[in-house]
Amino acid sequence: MATEPQTGKQIMGQFKHISTEATKQMLEAGTAALVDIRDENSFAGGHIKGAVHLDNVSLPDFIVEADPDVPLIVCCYHGNSSQSAASFLNEKGFEEVYSMDGGFEAWRAQFPFETA
Q: Is 75 a catalytic residue?
A: no
107: phi then psi, degrees, rounded to nearest 5: -60, -50
Q: What is the CB neighbour count within 10 angstroms for residue 9?
A: 11
Amino acid occupying residue 76:
C
- Cα 111–chain centre separation: 17
User: Which among 76, 85, 86, 100 is annotated as catalytic?
Assistant: 76
Q: Which residues are catalytic?
A: 76
